[in-house]
Structure 1
Amino acid sequence: MHYAYPSRKRHRAISGKPAVVLVTVFDDKIDNTVYINNIRENRMQYAEKHGYGTLLAKTSDYDLNGSPTSWAKVVAMRHAMTKYPDCKYMWFLDQNALIMNPHLKVEDYVMGANKLEAAMRKDIPVVPPDSIIKTFSHLRGNDVEFVLTQDKDGLSSTSFVIKNGEWAKFFLDTWFDPLYRSYNFQKAETHALEHIVQWHPTILSKLAIVPQHIINAYNNNGHGEQYKDGDIAVVFAHCSNVGEHSCAKEAERFSQQWRTSFSRA
């Protein structure tokens, strides 16, 4: 008698085109169209220069079932995987940020194996200052699937890169689990991320924490590493919707600079 064994599901090969998809989610409550258009143009020009895909979404595009709108970034990354199934990497960059250096390519500058091995911070507390869970000391650049940074408050989810594939699906689905969204973490998805990274070895084993200046430099050093000329992007950390320290005012300081840099690229 012959038995039919179920065949193993073969994962579809990813061609790596486009190399990167740039993902940003815009808050529908922001009514400053000049500011939003500035951010959109920044993303589109950078993506066009390198042949990258873009997913520029709005928080209202996704049904978060009552969860804080900041959770939309996780759904948007999953959306990007569906829209660009052959992309190699996905870079989430918060709305309140500008790409400043048009010459740097994510697949080389951030995700290149040698670059990662030199930059990743090994055997450090995942959540500073005193987490007992530490980043892997033997992780190789080729094994990394998820790159993010820490700031003075802990892990930062304003800028991160994920390698497309089955692991990415598992990770994003784990992160978006309804259980975590119902916990009412103080910092919503960021505290949920800190939780799963520390208690899921499957995730920690693919994680590289890199210095902030590589993908997540801040406009001031009150909360983390400060932006310097040449960094890939500047993030307007803890800016407000209105007032003297509004995100739009912070962006004004850098808008002419990015436009000049891009026009010369």
Structure 2
Amino acid sequence: MHFAYPPRKSSNPPPFRPRTSAIPTIRSRRLKTIGLVCLAFLTLVWLFQRGGSRRHAPPAYHKPSGNPPVVIVTVFNEGKYGKGYLDMVKENRLKYAEKHVLRLRPPRRTRLVGQPPRRPTRHDHVPDAAYIWYLDQNAFIMNPNLKIEEHVMKPSRLEELMIKDHPVVPPDSIIKTFSHLKGHDVDFVLTQDKDGLSSSSFVVKNGEWAKFFIETWFDPIYRSYNFQKAEQHALEHIVQWHPTILAKLALVPQRILNSYSKEKGGQDYKEGDLVVRLYACGEAGEDTCETESQRFAQWKTAFQNS
């Protein structure tokens, strides 16, 4: 068997020749070219990222101007109540809004069986309003002379009204309202009834915190919990488990913002109160909302005389 051998190196190698100056010149040119290409590439990457960050940057925060001072939001269920009754509720809101040069937002909605009621999002509201007042459709404004921004939300007024160091969910919740909270720190005002927090009448200060709060309250994860009382129990849950929300919350006496037509539900309406809510009025029978509303028809006279 034969194997091929590599050729032997010559024992007489050629004489040493120094490198010519052309080779370093060529290499330096190549390095310069490569450097320019890399610089151009990095410049393009930087410009692309800069342009992309502009396209995807969050919108600049819009600070509400306070004009109008308040937006009233009422959600109407036109498939459940009669037209006459709903027209009366709309008239009540419009008269109050006109008197105080406010805005009214009555979004329509259709509620499916078993679906929690829809609360308004910040996108439903006039962006420049200082405050957003949600008022249930089964409630009437009774005192046209009281302004939300003065009667409830003025910091010095809140200092007088706030119920401090009080169980969030009565009677014995270990989570209590903050004892050191100041009026200017409050962004969310509501009341309690005998069952717990009442979401039938509440006020939120418009701004970034309001957006965060509404989105948290109706986050899909809380909807999936299937709370027995839907949004009310979801509200009680996030208030007790999220200090970020509790730190902005103020409880006020029920008659300040949310009097009831029946004492068994909570504090009942007295003459001069801002609002009366028709407590537990039904769709049929003797206790329909329309029948119950007749007991408080004096709101029309109050507006005429104001």
TM-score (norm 2): 0.79
Q: Distance in 1 between matches of 2:88 and 2:200?
A: 18
- Aligned counterpart, 1:14: 64
CA distance in 2, matches of 1:65, 1:16: 36
Q: Distance in 1 between matches of 2:61 and 2:114?
A: 32
- Which deviations, in whole Å up to 9, do the C-alpha atoms of 1:22-58 show, x marking residues without a partner? 0000113224111110000000000011011111122
Give the whole-Å Cα distance in 2 for the aligned partners of 1:65 and 1:178. Answer: 16
- From 41, 48, 54, the counterpart of 2:98: 48
- Residues 144-174 of structure 1, C-alpha deviation per residue, up to 9 Å, x if partnerless? 0000000000000000000000000000000
Alignment of 1:33-44 (within 5 A): 33-44=83-94
Q: 3-state SS of the aligned residue for 1:202?
A: helix
1:142 maps to which of 181, 184, 195: 184
- Answering whether residue 304 of structure 2 is matched by residue 260 of structure 1, we say no
1:233 aligns with 2:275: yes
Deviation at 1:9, TM superposition (A): 7.5
User: What RMSD over aligned residues (CA atoms) do the two structures have, in Å?
Assistant: 2.0
Question: Contact 1:59–1:69 (CA<8 Å) still a contact in 2?
Answer: no
Residue identity matched to 2:104? T
- Report how far residue 11 of structure 1 moved: 2.6
Which amino acid is the alignment partner of residue 100 of structure 1? M
Distance 2:99 2:78 in 1: 27
For 2:114 and 2:242, how far apart are their aligned partners in 1? Answer: 23
Give the aligned length: 254
- Against the structure 1 CA distance between its residues 12 and 31, is the aligned structure 2 distance closer, same or farther, given a 3 Å change threshold? closer
Partner of 1:161: 203
Given that 2:116 and 2:230 are in contact with CA atoms closer than 8 Å, whether structure 1 keeps it comes out as: no
Aligned to 2:6: none
**Deviation digits for residues 35-91 of structure 1, max 9, x if unmatched?**
11000000000001101111112223xxx8986242x12xx242333xx01100000
1:241 CA displacement:
1.1
| 1:88-146 superposed Cα distances (whole Å, 9 cap, x missing partner) | 00000000000000000000001011111111100000011111100000000001000
Per-residue CA deviations over 1:204-231 (Å, capped at 9, x if unaligned) read 0000000000110000100100100000
* 8 Å contact from structure 2 (residues 81, 283) kept in 1: no
More strand by share: 1
Q: Which runs of 5+ in 1 are unaligned?
A: none
User: Highest Rg: 1 or 2?
Assistant: 2
Between the aligned partners of 2:70 and 2:144, the Cα distance in structure 1 is 14
- Map of 2:261 onto structure 1: 219
CA distance in 2, matches of 1:43, 1:148: 19
| Larger relative contact order (CA 8 Å, sep ≥ 6) | 1
Distance in 1 separating the partners of 2:89 and 2:132: 18
Secondary structure in 2 aligned to 1:173?
helix
Shift of the 207–143 alpha-carbon distance from structure 1 to 2, 3 Å rule, reads same
Aligned equivalent of 1:131, options 173, 183, 188: 173
